[in-house]
Amino acid sequence: MTEAHLSSNTLREAVALASRAPSLFNVQPWRWRAVAGSLELVLDRSRALPETDPTGRELALSNGAALHHAVLALRALGWPARVHRLPNPDEEADLLARIDVVAAAEPGEIDLALAGAACVRQADRRQYQPEPVPAPLLRELVLAGEAAGADVLVAEGDQRYALAQAFMKASVVHGASERYRRELAAWTGLSSVETEGMPEYSSPLHGRQYGDLVVRDYGRVSVAHKEAGSPRTAGSLLLISTANDDVAAHLAAGEATSAVLCQAELEGLASCPLSEAFEVPETRAFVRRAVLHDAGYPQLAIRVGWPSVSGRPPQTPRRPVRELLQDLVDRHPD
């Protein structure tokens, strides 16, 4: 197709929705290029977190979520997309994907619904209601993630216990690392006027624990959420894993994460990605051995449940599209 088929407004809307994707500490490690009628996703290494994510695995995973969000946006705007992942790995390793649109088409109801879910979805770090999520709903989330290219496991029994142990041990390791604490403090507890990082209102209480699950300790953040109900519950735990552990697998894990989160939003569930247990090599290896029996690589966990507090949590800020989208002027007329 020719570049004139996509207007600059369409590109901006797609990038705006893609920017709503989740990322570690809300660093938003992506850039977009409008090139010859395609939309290219480029890893932004200036957003690296060397202490928390020394290999860049979570940067790629975050970009996978942004890629999935962008495709949802284009479909909802009437442009079904074809994705080329890692299109030029030898010459441009940070070019993670190129999105081509195949032809204009009327969006379906599910396209519009999923794009709407991506637009309003926000990590809910509060406690959830004690009522369990029904198995059929959990199965829908599993299928959504698997359709996006990763494996999804509902962790129960011994598997959940092992995951909870991994999160607890990882929190201890991180708590003893001064360099990690400095990096965490640089990106969390920020003013609401920031366009990146986690504002104070979006963080849980210091040292918060939900039932059997220890969530990330956000250090100097000390903001109270008004929550009712006892006991504190973490909800169900889903584990995203992949057969391989390369950049392509990390992208797929991010796409699956986006798919699960958006499907959860459609079902009226609260959700929150959890990554701390996979940021410490020892605890990640433990999960691989104890939960996956060395048959895959754990990438991310997601907790889901019924929200216990009325109203949505506030959305975290996002970088403006003008900072994220390059090569737009004179290429895609409105």
Structural fold of domain 8-120+316-327: NADH Oxidase (3.40.109)
C-alpha distances out from residue 112 to 30, 75, 77, 118, Å:
24, 8, 8, 10
User: Looking at the DSSP assignment, which residues form a beta bridge with residue 59?
Assistant: none
CA distance 26 to 187: 8
Walking along the chain (334 residues) 10 residues at a time, the average pLDDT comes out as 66 96 96 90 97 97 98 96 95 96 90 97 90 97 98 97 95 94 87 76 61 73 38 84 98 98 97 97 98 98 90 86 77 43
Entry field: residues in the chain: 334
Give residues with Cβ within 8 angstroms of 142, minimum separation 6. Answer: 152, 153, 154, 238
**Whole-number pLDDT of residue 203:** 63
CA distance 8 to 92: 25
Checking phi first, is residue 5 left (phi over 0); if not, alpha (psi -120 to 50) or beta?
Answer: alpha
First-residue to last-residue Cα distance in the chain: 17
Number of neighbours of residue 195 by Cβ within 10 angstroms: 14
Torsion sign (Cα): 216, 226, 189, 185: negative
**Whole-number pLDDT of residue 288:** 98
Do residues 70 and 98 make contact, with C-beta atoms less than 8 angstroms apart? no
Strands 270-274 and 325-326: unpaired
Torsion sign (Cα): 147, 148, 150, 155: negative
Token digits of residue 43: 């890893």
User: Looking at the DSSP assignment, which residues form a beta bridge with residue 326?
Assistant: 33
Structural fold of domain 135-305: NADH Oxidase (3.40.109)
The model's pTM is 0.91
46 exposure class (CB count in 10 Å sphere: 0-12, 13-18, 19+)? exposed
Do residues 222 and 205 make contact, with C-beta atoms less than 8 angstroms apart? yes
Longest dimension (CA), the chain: 58
CA distance 75 to 77: 5
Give the closest residue to 15 by CA, choosing from 78, 95, 72: 72
CA distance 33 to 116: 24
List, by residue range, all CATH 3.40.109.10 domains of the chain.
8-120+316-327, 135-305
**Whole-number pLDDT of residue 37:** 75
